[in-house]
Structure 1
Amino acid sequence: MTRLFAQYGRPEWYLLALAVVTSLFGRTVALVPPLVLGVAIDAVFVGNTTYTLPLVPAAWLPTTRIEGLWFSVALVVGALVSSVLLTWAQGVGFSLFSNRVQHRVRVDAYEAMQGLDMSFFDDKQTGQVMSILNNDVRNLKSFLNGTVGGVVQLLVTVTAIAGILVYLNAQLALVTLVAVPLLATFTVWFMRTVRPLYRTLRQSVGDLNTRIENNLAGIEVIKTSSTEGFETGRVEDASWASYLRTWAVVKLEYLYQPGMELMAGVAFAVTFVVGGLWLVTGPPGPFTGTLLVGEFVTFLFMTQRFVDPLAGAGRIVNSYENARASAERIFDLSDRPVLVGESDSPVALPRDEVAGRIEYDDVAFGYRTESPVLTGVSFTVEPGETVAFVGPTGAGKSTLAKLLLRLYDVDAGSIRVDGIDVRDLSLVDLRRAVGYVGQDVYLFDGTVRENLQYGAFDASHEEMVAAARAAEAHEFVSRLPDGYDTRIGERGVKLSGGQRQRLSIARAMLQDPAILVLDEATSSVDTETELYIQRALDALTEGRTTVVIAHRLSTVRGADLVLVLDEGGVAEHGTHDELLARPGLYATLWGIQAGDTDGLPGALLERLARRSESSADG
């Protein structure tokens, strides 16, 4: 919480200062009416004392009872008006301060999250991240807006009232103030007990968000599988777990809040009894001196105002602990180390100077929780050539492409573009030089135009249309209700799979990369749509260095180099014709896809079957 104020509150210090100062004066001014009332009772209505107020020069005070009446009225009205204005200024200050801090925290947390490598997203559930960026950030805003002001009011009110009570009657003040150390001790116990409960509560909220987010994303699968009842049960379990953790906190709150109110109320009752006896029978017990009626009335009013902020300390502590748990999660996200980051002195790779030569030199890689996926992979692709990765499922084909884009970093060896290690290149330059078209196309909720120009924001309308024509997309886009300004829904749900794929190809064309990665770009469409897409891909790959990942071997027949991956390494390499000319894994895969397995090695077929079963089990 110290870091929250130091890092994000400091730039907005003037707003916080405005809120704190106006809150301080507002709470002080609010104590004027009960103080004036007590003085007026003794000096104006009863008339047994002179009119005196603390910190007010005697020359300013009235000398007659009628002057004292109107002076008291003026002070009370002035105090009420001033309190309203100061309260308004306090609210504006805290609101501006909290909302600006919330904005900056959310943006910085998102930026930090966006800069993390893909291994973070492999492990982290979307709902957990959403909970941090939304729920936890809102918790901080609520704390800064309401609770910080509550702390200031509590401190000012308690300090000012304690001073006034001691000024009026130090002996009776001790009776009232004896509750303060008891309340403080009770508060410390509550904070230590509730803190771990809030951590688990924030975690359970994230788990519930994850479950709901997953189900919304997979609603089509749920409906087509008739598993609505099963998923309702899983949401119910996650909601119940959140309820139990919430109840654990609430039970403690229901003990703490009434306990604070009880102790503060007892202090008020004891003050009332002692003061009442003092007026009726004289100083009770060890007490000495006199107590005026006006003083006692002021004491009762002040004590009541003293009780309310002390009883409200529970809400302040509750909000603080909730915000503290949220701040821990936010800064844990912000402080997570970036495993794939910029070099200290990145090498620039201007877009118009990229030749497109790719070299993999003895590359090895394994995901953090798995055994090595790739070992000893080496090959070279000259500018303008096409290399194809083929092989059984799980052989590491897509991983090789992700390493080129530096979505992950190699564990050993190196990958070079135009002779420069990709780890030494600027990430922006590298990823602008490498275009990616995958099987699972992602389109943003927006218009066709916004999705095509994504990553090429300065492209003109004519350039966009030319890219769409080349990608065989212009014709169907023109038939949409609003053409290029038609909204296509989240993930492009209003379009067919083939239409989404052609838009992704057009987007890649508009970005004009020197190197192109095609990851199963035609594997999930029908034959007619595949023809459209293949023609678009032929236009896209012309003159570019291209990496093709494919299960359908018919799509890689024209590749300059085919790498056959198996069990993390390169089992074979060559052109399509060269690989078919000799017995091996490629020839076996080709025979299987062609429906001709006669004469193929039985041991190899058996091994492929086992790999397929293993993949299905996984």
Structure 2
Amino acid sequence: MPGSGGGAGRRDNRTVTAAEREQARKVPLRRIAALFKAHRGSLAVVTFVIVASSVVAMASPFLLRAVIDHALPQQDLQLLVALVGGMLGVAVVTAVLGVIQTWISTRVGQQVMHRLRSEVFTHLQRQSVGFFTRTRSGEIQSRITNDIGGMQQVVTSTATSIAANLTTVVATGVAMVALSWQLSLISLVVMPPAVLLTRRIAQLRLAVTAAKQRELADLNVTVEESLSVSGIQLSKTMGTGPALAERFARSSQRLIDLELRSELAGRWRMATMSIIFAAVPAVIYLAAGLPATAGALSIGTVVAFTTLQTGLFRPLMGLLNVGVQVISSLALFARIFEYLDLPVEIADPPRPRTIRASEVRGDVRFEEVSFSYPGSSTPALDGVSLEVPAGSSLALVGATGSGKSTLAALMARLQDPTSGRVTIDGIDIRNLRLSDLAQIVGVVSQDTYLMHATIAENLRYAKPDATDANIEAAARSARIHDLIASLPDGYDTMVGSRGHRFSGGEKQRLAIARTLLRDPRILILDEATSALDTRTERAVQEAFDQLSVGRTTITIAHRLSTIRTADQIAVLDGGRVAEAGTHQSLLEIGGRYAALAA
């Protein structure tokens, strides 16, 4: 783990690949614009407010010219008071309109952000277990938090910024021409260098943004892997703490470099444009004082024009900044859309069969089922056929890697068979809604996962509307109620991160109680008692024996003592059914099962 951030990784994080640049370029702007489609009414109101604000603001330079050319030279106090009052009125109106604009635009932006976050989270929830096996959890978290968070400014202010700055630039341009078309021509010299410089900065930021987000993802992965309870235990027992700290520091240092490159690129552009805009008024003063133009322009006109020209800097730079932000954010949109475009491997059928959990008998069949994991040349299951009558029990035994857990995963539809089918009461489970199947099939695996919440909340996760009495009954059946009742906070006790407050056997019994709370018609026990001591295992097994009456049960076990009474035992070997029968009949055969039992 400490060595996973080596030289190749550093080079990868400092530069953006050609494929990533191409991916960012392929993000259609109309898809980004579609995010705002539901908010067209609000955006129309914002646009109206922006136009009104810009039009009102353009009165200021003309009021200023009247003050300088008429009210002050003529010492007309009444006119001066009216003009100054008009200036204050313009300031108040534009300020109020600005607040309204900010409120509406921010609300729209946050709603779009909420929709993006929710869509990505929901879409990832529909991905198969295989996707999460292939993908680093820190990477997923980074895309939902860092990438979408990095898009916030663009999503929140892009549309309104374009409208506001474009309207201001147009209105200012019209006012400048109205004051003096000759001086307006001089002001146009800023446009070509501004556009060219902005384009270069946008391309640079596109590359830096992609590299920065990947570095943030790596940082998230390091935090996720190293600062979890399991990660801390591993680092302490392996003595890798210093190496992990160094890895984190190197990643954080690379982020400093990327942030500096991004910020300096923008600062150099701002400095250059500031110099250009500062030079323009000087040229205007020079032009107004030349013998050829002397006396053609009043002092008030020159002052009003230079005020407008200076005021043009902010909206013009804002308009150019929007271009930079949109182009640089394409890398973020590309990463988000990449997740949204992931195909759903395990999905609800187009026309699902309706089935009520209370009416399910629980007749299970595996019909010539084969399955291969992606990238593997050897099938995990090869032509497995088994029949489990409703209310009976099937035990799966065999060596590690023989396909037992894979078969159970197909039953719960965590994977789909490569060929063949799995049926419940004659219905292919691929024709059922995933939510309906989850109500029918309950799974207790050897890898127990408990959330950082109270015991009651962990149990109620399986059935949100469960009463306290339901929870207690499930806990009693799993032989864990007495332990919970002995705790100071009882069912309100926090289990800790991943349930590390409890022993392996206690966590296993909590997981069993959680599954039993749903009362599934079909129960899959994947090494469900592997972490229990002999005495507790016997108690829980008695509960299972009682609860399995009328319930179809599929048990995976290495300890054969737990499955002796199963109605049917299937021995898997290399993904095939090598033997099948009862405990006694398999012993009499003297084959693989007898060897395991010896």
- TM-score normalised to structure 1 length: 0.86
Q: Structure 1 residue 461: deviation in Å?
A: 2.3
Q: Structure 1 residue 41: deviation in Å?
A: 0.5
Structure with the bigger RCO (C-alpha within 8 Å, sep 6+) is 2
- Comparing 351-360 with 488-497, which one deviates more in the overlay? 488-497
| Alignment check: 8 A CA contact 2:198 2:324 kept | no
Change (3 A) 1:230 1:389: farther
1:429 aligns with 2:440: no
Q: Structure 1 residue 356: deviation in Å?
A: 0.9
Equivalent residue number for residue 282 of structure 2: 272
Change (3 A) 1:215 1:403: same
Q: Structure 1 residue 233: deviation in Å?
A: 2.9
Q: Structure 1 residue 87: deviation in Å?
A: 1.4
Cα deviations across residues 198-239 of structure 1 (Å, max 9, x unaligned)? 223222222221221111222222223322112223323443
Equivalent residue number for residue 40 of structure 1: 67
1:415 aligns with 2:442: no
Structure 1 letter corresponding to 2:302: F
Structure 2 letter corresponding to 1:41: I
Change (3 A) 1:27 1:489: farther
Which one of 285, 291, 305 corresponds to residue 282 of structure 1? Answer: 291
Equivalent residue number for residue 370 of structure 2: 364
Equivalent residue number for residue 22 of structure 2: none
Change (3 A) 1:261 1:310: farther
Change (3 A) 1:540 1:141: farther
Structure 2 matches for 1:397-412, cutoff 5 A? 397-412=404-419
Structure 2 letter corresponding to 1:235: F
| Alignment check: 8 A CA contact 2:207 2:328 kept | no
Equivalent residue number for residue 316 of structure 1: 322
Cα deviations across residues 115-156 of structure 1 (Å, max 9, x unaligned)? 112221121111111112112222233223344443333212
Structure 2 letter corresponding to 1:358: V
Equivalent residue number for residue 563 of structure 2: 556
Note the residue ranges of structure 1 that are not aligned, 5 or more in a row.
Answer: 48-63, 592-618
Equivalent residue number for residue 325 of structure 1: 331
How far apart in 2 are the matches of 1:428 and 1:263? 59
Q: Structure 1 residue 463: deviation in Å?
A: 2.2
- Comparing 435-444 with 135-144, which one deviates more in the overlay? 135-144
Q: Structure 1 residue 392: deviation in Å?
A: 1.4
Secondary structure in structure 1 of the residue aligned to 2:227 = helix
Equivalent residue number for residue 122 of structure 2: 111
Change (3 A) 1:553 1:113: same
- Comparing 505-514 with 575-584, which one deviates more in the overlay? 575-584
Q: Which has the larger radius of gyration?
A: 1
Runs of 4+ in 1 over 6 A off after TM superposition: none
Equivalent residue number for residue 19 of structure 2: none
| Alignment check: 8 A CA contact 1:136 1:323 kept | no
Structure 2 matches for 1:216-365, cutoff 5 A? 216-217=227-228, 218-244=231-257, 246-247=258-259, 250-251=260-261, 253-273=263-283, 275-283=284-292, 290-313=296-319, 315-365=321-371
| Alignment check: 8 A CA contact 1:265 1:307 kept | no
Q: Structure 1 residue 383: deviation in Å?
A: 1.0
Change (3 A) 1:215 1:417: same
Q: Structure 1 residue 312: deviation in Å?
A: 4.3
Cα deviations across residues 407-449 of structure 1 (Å, max 9, x unaligned)? 1111111111111111112222212100111111112222222
1:98 aligns with 2:104: no
Q: Structure 1 residue 511: deviation in Å?
A: 0.5
| Alignment check: 8 A CA contact 1:471 1:536 kept | yes
Secondary structure in structure 2 of the residue aligned to 1:459 = coil
- Comparing 472-481 with 218-227, which one deviates more in the overlay? 218-227
Structure 1 letter corresponding to 2:421: S
Secondary structure in structure 2 of the residue aligned to 1:231 = helix
| Alignment check: 8 A CA contact 1:19 1:92 kept | no
Structure 2 letter corresponding to 1:109: V
- Comparing 79-88 with 24-33, which one deviates more in the overlay? 24-33
1:125 aligns with 2:131: no
Secondary structure in structure 2 of the residue aligned to 1:516 = strand
Q: Structure 1 residue 589: deviation in Å?
A: 2.6
Change (3 A) 1:373 1:23: same
Cα deviations across residues 273-310 of structure 1 (Å, max 9, x unaligned)? 3x3234434336xxx97121111111221121112333
Secondary structure in structure 2 of the residue aligned to 1:542 = coil
Structure 2 matches for 1:466-481, cutoff 5 A? 466-481=473-488
Equivalent residue number for residue 88 of structure 2: 77
Equivalent residue number for residue 500 of structure 2: 493
Secondary structure in structure 2 of the residue aligned to 1:341 = coil
Secondary structure in structure 2 of the residue aligned to 1:178 = helix
How far apart in 2 are the matches of 1:268 and 1:459? 71
Q: Structure 1 residue 243: deviation in Å?
A: 4.4
How far apart in 2 are the matches of 1:257 and 1:154? 20
1:180 aligns with 2:186: no
Q: Structure 1 residue 195: deviation in Å?
A: 2.2
How far apart in 1 are the matches of 2:442 and 2:433? 16
Structure 2 letter corresponding to 1:9: F
- Comparing 221-230 with 292-301, which one deviates more in the overlay? 221-230
How far apart in 1 are the matches of 2:184 and 2:306? 11
Equivalent residue number for residue 201 of structure 1: 212
| Alignment check: 8 A CA contact 2:198 2:269 kept | no
Change (3 A) 1:35 1:261: farther
Equivalent residue number for residue 613 of structure 1: none
Between the aligned residues of both structures, percent identity stands at: 36
- TM-score normalised to structure 2 length: 0.89
Structure 1 letter corresponding to 2:486: R
| Alignment check: 8 A CA contact 1:465 1:474 kept | yes
